[in-house]
A and B are shown apart, each in its own frame.
Chain A
Amino acid sequence: MARETPEVNGGSLADIAFLLLIFFLVTTTMDIDSGITRLLPPEPEPGQETDIQVNKRNVLVVLINRSDRLMVGGEEMDRLDLKDKVIEFFTNPTDDPDLPVMEETEIQFPPGSSPLLPPDGLWKGKVSKGVISLQNDRSTTYGRYLQVQNELVAAVNELRNEFSNLYFDKDFDELNTANPIEEQIEEGIRDIYKMNISESEPKNYGGSN
């Protein structure tokens, strides 16, 4: 007679699994890091001129001083007004000679992608040559710096979004870069509204800290 193999009691299996489950529940962190991604300029080669002469009207100087006050283009400004100022700076709606030069540019979009474009998809319009120069003191707090950085990025994002909605009936964020057509659209819009934010070499304004 074949002997029966003794069965293992599986009743405690659930308990063991629960224990493991609770362990992983407790140790799980599902935080996905989020933030504002920026590109640093490469370090200048030795002997390379860092002060490139740019037409004065093409530059908007944004300065944050050591007591976190904001100065934009020579006048003091509230942080919440900065975005509109930057949008005006980048679009120059009134052809103001003090605002940046708008350069006639042609940008290729995918043919037939928008009813507002000619069938070959070639966009003709004006692109700003403006650059924002962001400068801060060593004693500026980081929180303030990021708020200002955020307003600058918000301004460019809003312009891109507006263009994207007008021409392609879609938010700029929702363009799917895995799709080659939408990727070309995205790059085109990026070229029209460039994120021209330059950060100067750090300097120490207003004495020691």
Chain B
Amino acid sequence: MPKFKKKKGTQAQKINTASLPDIVFMLLFFFMVATTMRETEVQVRVTVPQATEVKKLEKKSLVSYIYIGRPVAQVARMYGTEPLVQLNDKLVSEEGIPYESIQDFVLFEREKLPESDKNRMTMSLRVDQDIPMGKVDDVKQALRRAKALIINYSARKEYRNQGRRR
């Protein structure tokens, strides 16, 4: 008879999983709070340019988006391949400088803001880097007429090695 008994079938220690739902719920709540549903479907192709001096936009509720780019494939069948302007989720079909569409858009967006923030409304221009400036100038003119003067040229952060001057 052996002196030492072999342990009968080493069973793996069971981890108590009772707190798992709590952990998962905590994560769940975090993501629920942090989630912003993408409410706009972008119908134009936009690759924003890179820049070194970009700053983050602080208050998201003040920002409305204007996309300018060439339409994606499905939309191109209807509208052709010329650059198009999209205001939040609506494509602009107006010919020439879109004064009216932008005027309506600005009024509508401004209406949604509380009184104290009305003059801080920011228009973020998400423009494809290969679009000719003509279209952008048109939109800027229309924004000026609609008195939406704070604009943001959307760009990705570019990191560049900068030797200091002097």
Contact = CB atoms under 8 A, between A and B. Distances in A.
A22 to B, nearest CB: 9
B141 interface: yes
Contacts of B134: 138-139, 202, 209
Contacts of A149: 51, 153
B35 interface: yes
Interface in A154-177: 154, 157-158
A150 B155 CA distance: 10
A32 B150 contact: no
A200 B22 CA distance: 60
A34 B147 contact: no
Contacts of B31: 21, 24-25, 28
A41 B143 CA distance: 10
Interface of B is mostly: mixed
Contacts of B85: none
Interface string B144-156: 1101111111111
B157 interface: yes
B20 to A, nearest CB: 5
Interface stretch (A12-20, A95-103, A123-131): A12-20
B153 A27 contact: no
Contact of B133 (A13, A41, A145): A145
B55 A36 contact: yes
Contact of B24 (A18, A29, A157): A18
Interface in B112-162: 122, 124-134, 136-137, 140-141, 143-145, 147-157
Contact of A146 (B36, B51, B137): B51
Given A40-B143, A209-B134, A21 B49 contact: no
B27 A21 contact: yes
B3 interface: no
B165 A139 contact: no
B16 interface: no
Nearest to A28: B35
A34 B27 CA distance: 27
B12 to A, nearest CB: 20
A29 B34 CA distance: 9
A117 interface: no
B75 interface: no
A36 B129 contact: no
B118 to A, nearest CB: 16
Given A14-B20, A29-B36, A142-B131, A154 B53 contact: yes
Nearest to A83: B165
A143 B129 contact: yes
Nearest to A36: B153
Nearest to B36: A29
Identify the 6 closest CB pairs spanning chains A and B, nearest first: A143-B129, A138-B134, A24-B31, A150-B51, A35-B154, A202-B137
Interface of A: 10, 13-14, 17-18, 20-21, 24-25, 27-30, 32-43, 84, 87, 136-143, 145-147, 149-150, 153-154, 157-158, 202, 209
Given A34-B57, A154-B52, 5 more contacts: A27-B38, A30-B34, A32-B56, A34-B56, A153-B53
